[in-house]
Amino acid sequence: MATLLKHSAKYALSGRLARLCVHSRHGGLQCLQPCLLPHQRSASTGSKILVEMDNSTGIAVLTMKSPPVNSLSLDFLTEFSISLEKLELDRGCRGVILTSALPKIFSAGLDIMEMCGKSPEHCGEFWKAVQEMWLRLYGSSMITIAAINGSSPAGGCLMALACDYRIMAENPKYSIGLNETQLGIVAPFWFKDTLVNTVGNRVAELSLQLGLLYSAPDALRTGLVDLLVPEDKVLSTASQTMTQWLAIPGENAIGSNPRVSSSKVDLTPKVHMVDLSHSSESMCSLNWIPWTCSNRA
Ligand SMILES: CCCCCC/C=C/CC(=O)SCCNC(=O)CCNC(=O)[C@H](O)C(C)(C)COP(=O)(O)OP(=O)(O)OC[C@H]1O[C@@H](n2cnc3c(N)ncnc32)[C@H](O)[C@@H]1OP(=O)(O)O
């Protein structure tokens, strides 16, 4: 199921992202400024995301740099999805490390200001961008590693969960978890599935019901993250881990892993997310963005 979803994502997104680049005020392709660095490195930066590509290793580092807390605004989500799509289309890129440039924060999750007092159309566009970003990350044919160098509640945690591997700074002050219920949000099924796949049924059930945020050591104990390292080693450990993952035979292997040989598998979309973008009423009735409902009442 996960594999099918991952493959369906590839096709569902490229058309919309292409449209965003041309039509939307949030489009970011034109704002990504390429520049060349020594040693086969290249970098492009928008206002919220920095992408650094090492062509000699095939590893890209995607750094979120949107103060104060890397919240997932519509602009952020769009720039993120476009950056990831560009890497996906780059056959030389085989792995992406996701990290933050901000001290103490990986990402604070959805930008709450995007959901307060906005029109149903805006909410629809926003929610669609959320789903697209998750599909693009979870559905990536590249290896994805989250280098979690700060707190990562709610949507920040889901971003990390959408990656293949999670390395977190061992600072007990940093927390991570799907705390949506604490905020009055019922987590959609794809949050639940992503968490269950990572920590198992019982831990996921307790986490979601109680909206638990785990300290870094507790996150390791529950399996929410895979590894804790000193804060200044998060990125270097992510690079080393990526190198190990990329050493696994891919493109030419018999029965090869679809994550690293996407061109060899059937990418026909078979599974689709629930598209709520046309109906903010649906969002409200499902309690996904309850404060939007109260604003509209
Ligand atoms: C993969 C796809 C993603 C799918 C997403 C699925 C959807 C999930 C639902 C959500 O994500 S709902 C959002 C839930 N987020 C939170 O509950 C986080 C709330 N924030 C915090 O817990 C803390 O702010 C922090 C992140 C731990 C940072 O704490 P710190 O003490 O360092 O800073 P603050 O003083 O609290 O905040 C600084 C500044 O940032 C503003 N802010 C914080 N969080 C958000 C946010 N989510 N959206 C918008 N703005 C946020 C805060 O208001 C402060 O602003 P100010 O102007 O300086 O007062």
Ligand 1 touching residue 137 (CB < 6 A): yes
- Nearest atom in ligand 1 to 109's CA: 11
d(CA 5, CA 194): 12
Q: With the C-alpha atoms ordered 25, 26, 30, 31, is the resulting torsion angle positive or negative?
A: positive
pLDDT given at position 297: 23
pLDDT given at position 38: 56
d(CA 228, CA 238): 11
Task: Tell me which residue has its CA closest to atom 42 in ligand 1.
Answer: 69
pLDDT given at position 39: 64
d(CA 146, CA 56): 21
pLDDT in tens, 140-183: 999 999 999 999 999 999 999 999 999 999 999 999 999 999 99
User: 135: which residues sit within 8 A by CB, 6+ positions away?
Assistant: 5, 8, 9, 12, 13, 273
* Residue 206, token pair as written in the block: 């307790």
User: 191: which residues sit within 8 A by CB, 6+ positions away?
Assistant: 158, 178, 180, 208
Per-residue pLDDT of the chain (297 residues; tens, 9 = 90+): 333 344 444 334 343 333 333 233 233 333 445 555 556 889 998 999 999 999 999 999 999 999 999 999 999 999 999 999 999 999 999 999 999 999 999 999 999 999 889 999 999 999 999 999 999 999 999 999 999 999 999 999 999 999 999 999 999 999 999 999 999 988 888 889 999 999 999 999 999 999 999 999 999 999 999 999 999 999 999 999 999 999 998 765 665 544 444 433 333 333 345 544 444 443 433 334 433 322 222
* Residue 275, token pair as written in the block: 């598209």
Ligand 1 geometric centre to CA of 54 (Å): 31
Ligand 1 touching residue 154 (CB < 6 A): yes
Active site residues: 110, 155, 179-180
Give buried/exposed letters for 225-258 (b at 16+ CB in 10 A, else e).
bbbbbebeebbebbbebbeebbeeebeeeeeebb
pLDDT given at position 86: 97
- Give the pTM: 0.81
pLDDT given at position 101: 98
Ligand 1 touching residue 132 (CB < 6 A): no
- Nearest atom in ligand 1 to 104's CA: 32
Question: Which H/E stretch holds residue 271?
Answer: none
pLDDT given at position 34: 52
Q: Which amino acid is at 132?
A: E
Ligand 1 touching residue 150 (CB < 6 A): no
Ligand 1 geometric centre to CA of 50 (Å): 21
> In this structure, how many other beta carbons lie within 10 angstroms of the beta carbon of residue 60?
28
Pocket test for ligand 1, best of 69, 84, 131, 137 (most atoms within 8 A of CB): 69
Ligand 1 geometric centre to CA of 246 (Å): 34
User: 87: which residues sit within 8 A by CB, 6+ positions away?
Assistant: 51, 53, 60, 62, 93, 96, 142
Cis peptide before 68 (omega within 30 of 0): yes
DSSP-derived pairing of the beta strands 49-54 and 59-64: antiparallel
Local structure of residue 55 (DSSP, 8 states) = T
Ligand 1 touching residue 59 (CB < 6 A): no
Ligand 1 touching residue 115 (CB < 6 A): no
Nearest by Cα to 111 from 119, 123, 103:
123
Domains annotated on the chain, with CATH: 2-249+259-296 (3.90.226.10)
pLDDT given at position 263: 39
